[in-house]
Amino acid sequence: GENVEQHPSTLSVQEGDSAVIKCTYSDSASNYFPWYKQELGKRPQLIIDIRSNVGEKKDQRIAVTLNKTAKHFSLHITETQPEDSAVYFCAASDYKLSFGAGTTVTVRA
Amino acid sequence: DAGVIQSPRHEVTEMGQEVTLRCKPISGHNSLFWYRQTMMRGLELLIYFNNNVPIDDSGMPEDRFSAKMPNASFSTLKIQPSEPRDSAVYFCASSSPGLEGTGELFFGEGSRLTVL
């Protein structure tokens, strides 16, 4: 089955700086790569996703890049704000989603 | 739509008792997933249904766990007998795959299970 590895496990950034989270996956058949944000005590919610026919996607302050050859994808958050503090999960899917272990992001004011 | 609805939100039980978690997916979604979340193991997929049929239950830990989806609007996850190591947050999620394949997963608020 699919194995998704995510780094780093924790990330502390100064407000206004950028945050980058990286993931690798094992199954070359995976074609859908979403990112979920989970605030403390809440459910995971989709923030951005990318499919295998696209190399990069951007939505305001967040962007995702995908390198299918190397089997890795990354999340970039620019101009971080305190409300960006949360746990972020990457995932990869051919027909079912396998999640990475999560990155706890803390934005320091 | 009210989103994915799970019950109970919190359950505290004693070891050996039966636990039943319930889920109502978003109307029109034909895929339903049960995930378990713990600090140690993260988000683990337990079972996946498509059109009410279990497609992949390879994540179900052992025979103590069972899941059903008798119709498109209801699913249950049952643990019998429960053990302290089953303590976790159990999420139900639904999606509606499109022409491109896997669609966005919409998660319920989760059921926090504590087994004493």
Q: Give the pLDDT mean for A52-67.
A: 92
The answer, for B110 touching chain A at a CB cutoff of 8 Å, is yes
The answer, for B105 touching chain A at a CB cutoff of 8 Å, is yes
The answer, for A29 touching chain B at a CB cutoff of 8 Å, is no
Helix (H) or strand (E) holding B114: strand B111-115
Other C-beta atoms closer than 10 Å to the C-beta of A34 total 24
Query: Bigger pLDDT: B41 or B77?
Result: B77
The answer, for B45 touching chain A at a CB cutoff of 8 Å, is yes
Q: Mark yes or no for CB contact B42/A96 under 8 Å.
A: no
Per-residue confidence (pLDDT) for residue B33, from 0 to 100 = 95
Residues of B in contact with A96 (CB under 8 A): 33, 45, 48, 55-56, 102
Q: CA of B79: how far to CAs of B13, B19, B100, B115, in Å?
A: 11, 5, 35, 11
Per-residue confidence (pLDDT) for residue A94, from 0 to 100 = 78
What ranges make up the beta strands (E) of A8-102? 10-14, 19-25, 32-38, 45-51, 56-59, 62-67, 72-77, 86-93, 97-99
Q: pLDDT by residue (tens digit) across B69-103?
A: 999 999 999 999 999 999 999 999 999 876 666 78
Per-residue confidence (pLDDT) for residue B101, from 0 to 100 = 66
Q: Give the pLDDT mean for B29-33.
A: 93
